[in-house]
Structure 1
Amino acid sequence: MSVKQPSTQRSDWIAFAVAASVAVLTILDIVKVNVVLTPLEETLGATPTQTGLVVAGYVLAFGIALVPSGRLGDQWNRKAMFMIGLSIFTVASLCAALAPTATLLVAARILQGIAAGILMPQVLGMVQTLFQGQARGQAFGIFGAAIGLGTAFGPTIGGLFLGAFGSDLGWRWTFGMNVPLALLIIPLALWLIPASQPQPGRADLDAVGILLMAASVLFVMLPFVLTSGTDDIAARWIFVPLGLVTAVLFVRWENQYRAAGKSPVLDFTLFSFPSYRNGVIITTLWFAAMPAMFLVMTLFNQQGLGHDPVAVGLITVPFAFISAAVAAAVGRYTFRHATTLVLWGYVIFITALIGLVAVSAFVPPEHNPIAMAIVLGVAGIGPGFIMSANQMRTLIDVPVTQGGVAGSFQQVGQRLGNAIGVAVGSAIFYALVVAVPRDASGLPDPADPASVAAYAHAFQMAMAVLILFSVVALIFAGIDHRAHHRQLAEHATQQATTT
């Protein structure tokens, strides 16, 4: 086994830093729009459906593009796919920032989502290729820290732009900030990211598999991303059984394709690894809880309590710093202790979610942001454990040649969980505040105790569902922890037998 020279190791870490920074931009664009939805209605005349699609269109396109892009990256060239995705992301971000109408903004956001779906699996595939063993654990630790920062700092960035530039320029810069950053990263990526990668052998495009996979993701996610909690069309749920039908067809096609000696778009033998199977379920439930928690917390503080976007955005700062610091610190331990870290991470996170509910019930409205910021600071320990450790655990048994598609299917789980969590959380929230009296601008009176109480109740009910998602994830984390220890025991027995 060859040992990499120090200079090569350094270049690998630099290439990883460039790729991971782009992954953070794609995640930022999921969450930073939470605080600009009201300004979009005010300045662009966006309807509630259009503002919903600004969020949901990105997530939906992101989810659909992931697996085909991961497949193409594994079989063709990850660097080329990365550069294509980054170029499209840059152009789409510029179009979003300059959009003269809400319809064109929605279109730009969908294009952004496609680009993000092209980019993310290449980053995960690069980690699989560049690092092995403990170094891979450290890379996933840093990656988890970076994603945690992006997720938590998103509302802060949007709030700061709104505070600095006002409603119209503020939301435009929230999208436009990607352009100068991407223009800086493009030459670095061309220079630093390696073009060579392990080849899996003969490549099959599997166009039918790609279309069935895309249709399944589209049909399952669509009803959730179209759920706003107000004036929703009940007929949208017909897409879920259609999605299940296409998913069954996809599984059957892929198994037949593989049995014929060809290379399917998604090799279902990956799910024979308990680490991968449990990891995908855990990450799906995690993203059903965390982004939705940020959304309902933003709505509660911004609309229900009347706090300005800057103050609301700053609530997540302690969460961002602590989760990033913890994820970076525990990265070196994820190779050996991933399941233990995920288990304890969920215990801490669930406790903190209960703490947020208690804050909404007992802390005066004027002190709510600072109290929630303190609780979220403690909560940050949980994702610091979970994100890097579960990423490492999920991909630990996956062959390097399938790293991109395996990571992208895990990302599909994240986007699906994101869509379900946001849909369920926001639907519960809006349904419970629909009767609250509003002024001419459509906002409630934060000085009205009845209005505050209604918003607090809505927040608590939405959080109850998100806590339930997290408890189910904790159960699967326990199952994975036991499976890991059985695997270790079996390995120890085999070694003792052979010696």
Structure 2
Amino acid sequence: MTGIQRAILVVVLVPVFMSLLSISSINVVLPSVQASLDAPTSQIQWVLSGYTLAFGVLLVAGGRAGDTLGRGKLFVAGLGLFGLGSLIAGLALNGPMLIVARFITGFGSGLLNPQTVGFIQQFFDGPRRARAFASFGSVVGVSVAIGPVLGGGLIALLGPDWGWRWTFLVNVPIAVAAIYFAYRNFPTSAWQRYVPEGVTDEARTKPDLDPIGTITFTLGALLVMWTFLELDKGGIYFAMLPVGLLILTWWVWWERRYKRRGGSPMVDMNLFTNRAYRNGTLLIGLFFTGSTSVWVTVAIFLQTGHGISALVAALVGLPSAFATSITSQIAGRYVLKTGRAMVAWGMSVTLTALGSSILVVIGVQLWDWPIWWLILTLSLMGAAQGFIISPNQTLSLIEVPAHVSGVAGGVMQTGQRVGTSIGTALITSMLFGLAAAYSWNWAFVGAFGLIMLMVALAMVVAIVDIVGTRRAQAAVPQGHEAK
């Protein structure tokens, strides 16, 4: 990589780590937050839901705005909102103030995250792009596991009143530093709209944000995600799902119509005619529906089911995180040679690790095996994920033009966030239901069984993509290249 490429990668990945850390660390500190602010359970739920909703619904709109107005501008704006929200959260005097802060922080994350994909697509190509996405995958894997450790460690070090506040306040100087280094290191082209060669002067001077499409998609995605975040309440929340899906269906019609009439739609539906992108987006959405609930399940199982402290339970995930960071770098070197077969292989190993974890817990239930064998099986899962997340991103976006890569990345990340919301709601509901009816050990077995089902479905999509790719290659006459 060149010096400029390294600088861009560091500047964009540190805030991504920070934003994902805000998701993974919050669960550990919530009891301290509730006690410190004397907040009712309903407000604590919105501390969780507010960030998730704000983050998820802005990803596509943020990606589109970055493609249209300049990624550097949206990246810095997102950092500013994230830092501001973190500052307010750390100084919150009551529950409502913390909820508002979490919404602001989520909006910031929604703006800055899709710019990362856009920057990598714009400033990297070939093997360098694969290695950049490998670093992105390492950041994702480590942030998920390190967040609970950070939250538990700060509470242990600073006490329950100030410990949870510093899980937010630590983001403020990082955001300020990232803004400074963005202005210092980003090239001029990062602040300008990226327009490919051959585009008319009129298109260069008249950016089109497709406001109707943007508002419609945001509303539809909000209702779908909100349904699963409030799944346990039933009633009107169940009605939001069909309404949200209906709105998204209308949005697809609108986007097609908008393009036919000469506009530049928020999401060009031609993106989904690209087999690699279409299958990769579906695949990773299914995978996140299952895999992101692993650590929530493990944390609840160890703490509630076996009386293990939050900090020790969080430490169980560290070997897995480090394994992910290592294998992501290995995968980045070979993904362009192996293709989607690497992703399918990673999923097969993930299924082995999940099945082995189930076997360990059955052994705990029936034969008094040590629960700590889970560290080994979960580490295997972490190693396998390094061959899934970043390689899939590389392969999915390999043929996506740089000028729409922000919105393409936003669509993929929205699918991941929706999958996470659905999976967390369904899998934790199963976990608590089985625990009440049987035992925590059997509840773990059931929850991990459902996770295995989602990973298996994702693996089927990967295999379908591999078969389709090979058939397309076989159909091309010798001496010709596939277009």
TM, length-normalised to structure 1? 0.90
- Give, in whole Å, the separation in 2 of the partners of 1:432 and 1:47: 26
Percent identity (aligned): 33
Aligned to 1:404: 406
Distance in 1, matches of 2:64 and 2:378, equals 37
What secondary structure, in the 3-state scheme, does the structure 1 residue paired with 2:96 have? helix
CA RMSD of aligned residues (A): 2.1
Distance 1:492 1:132 in 2: 27
Equivalent residue number for residue 72 of structure 1: 65
2:446 paired residue number? 461
Paired residue for 2:20? 27
What are the within-5 Å matches in structure 2 for residues 47-86 of structure 1? Answer: 47-86=40-79
Q: Any gaps of 5 or more consecutive residues in structure 2?
A: none
Contact kept in structure 1, 2:332 and 2:390, CA below 8 Å: yes
Q: Kindly provide the amino acid, as one letter, of the partner of residue 423 in structure 1.
A: A
Gap change, CA 1:121 and 1:248, over 3 Å in 2: same
Residue 481 (1) aligns with residue 466 (2): yes
Instruction: Determine if the alignment matches structure 1 residue 303 to structure 2 residue 296.
Output: no
Q: Which AA in structure 1 matches 2:226?
A: L
- 1:313 aligned residue: 314
Matches within 5 A, 1:14-413: 14-196=7-189, 198-199=194-195, 201=199, 202=203, 203-227=207-231, 229=232, 232-363=233-364, 370-413=372-415
Q: Which letter maps to 2:210?
A: D
Q: Secondary structure in 1 aligned to 2:256?
A: helix
In structure 2, relative to structure 1, the CA distance for the partners of 1:212 and 1:125 (3 Å cut) is: same
SS in 2 for 1:493: coil
How far does residue 491 in structure 1 lie from its aligned partner after superposition?
Answer: 4.5
Deviations 1:434-470 (A, max 9, x none): 57xxxxxxxxxxxxxxxxx622222222222111111
Whether the 8 Å contact between 2:331 and 2:387 is mirrored in structure 1 is: yes
Rounded to whole Å, the distance in 1 between the matches of 2:77 and 2:459 is: 38
Of 313-322 and 22-31, deviating more is: 22-31
Compared with structure 1, are the counterparts of its residues 354 and 79 closer, same or farther at alpha carbon in structure 2 (3 Å cutoff)? Answer: same
- Runs of 4+ with deviation above 6 angstroms: 364-367
Query: How many angstroms apart in 2 are the aligned matches of 1:415 and 1:150?
Result: 15
Is the contact made by 1:160 and 1:313 (CA closer than 8 Å) also made in structure 2?
Answer: no
CA distance in 2, matches of 1:332, 1:486: 25
Counterparts of 1:368 and 1:424, CA distance in 2: 28
The count of corresponding residues between Structure 1 and Structure 2 is 471
Q: Is the 8 A contact 1:82 1:118 kept in 2?
A: yes
Q: Deviations over 1:448-496 (max 9, x none)?
A: xxxxx62222222222211111111011111111122233334463528
* Unaligned 5+ runs, structure 1: 1-5, 436-452
The answer to whether the 8 A contact 2:83-2:171 is kept is: yes
Task: Name which of structure 1's ranges 112-121 and 300-309 shifts more when overlaid on structure 2.
Answer: 300-309
State the 1:384 CA deviation.
0.5
Spell out, residue by residue over 1:18-75, the C-alpha distance to the aligned partner (whole angstroms, 9 max, x if none). Answer: 1011111111111111212232333333333333322222111111111111111001
Q: 1:158 Cα shift?
A: 1.6
CA 1:369–1:99 in 2, change beyond 3 Å: closer, same or farther?
farther
Q: Which moved more, 1:68-77 or 1:181-190?
A: 181-190
Query: AA paired with 1:472?
Result: L
Per the TM alignment, residue 326 of structure 1 is displaced from its structure 2 partner at its CA by 0.3
Q: Structure 1 residues 243-252 or 198-207, which shifts more? A: 198-207
How far apart, in 2, do the equivalents of 1:142 and 1:128 lie?
Answer: 14
8 Å contact from structure 2 (residues 364, 371) kept in 1:
no
1:291-327 superposed Cα distances (whole Å, 9 cap, x missing partner): 2111111011112211111101101100010010000
* Equivalent position SS for 2:292: helix
Q: 1:492 to 1:315 in 2, by over 3 A?
A: farther
Give the aligned residue type for 1:302: Q
1-side partners of 2:175 and 2:156: how far apart? 24
Q: Which amino acid letter does the alignment assign opposite residue 411 of structure 2?
A: F
Are positions 1:427 and 2:429 aligned together? yes
Distance 2:482 2:250 in 1: 44
Q: How far has the Cα of 1:401 moved from its partner?
A: 0.7
| Deviates most, 32-41 or 320-329 | 32-41
Alpha-carbon distance change, 496 to 366 in structure 1, aligned in 2, over 3 angstroms: closer
SS at match of 1:345: helix
Letter in 1 for 2:272: F
Rate the CA distance shift 1:497–1:173 in 2: closer, same or farther, 3 A.
closer
Amino acid at match of 1:187: Y
Contact 1:338–1:392 (Cα < 8 Å) also in 2:
no
Distance 1:489 1:221 in 2: 41
Structure 2 Cα separation of the partners of residues 416 and 40 of structure 1 = 26
Task: Give the 3 Å change call, closer, same or farther, for CA 166–370 of structure 1 in structure 2.
Answer: farther
Q: Distance in 2 between matches of 1:18 and 1:404?
A: 17
Structure 1 residues 469 and 49, CA gap change in structure 2 (3 angstroms): farther
Once residues 250 and 485 of structure 1 are traced to their aligned partners in structure 2, the CA distance between those partners, rounded to angstroms, is 33
Distance 1:497 1:341, change over 3 A: closer
Amino acid at match of 1:307: I
- Whole-Å Cα distance in 1 between the matches of residues 13 and 448 of structure 2? 31
**Secondary structure at the residue paired with 2:387?**
helix
Query: Does the aligned pair in 2 maintain the 1:158–1:313 contact within 8 Å?
Result: no
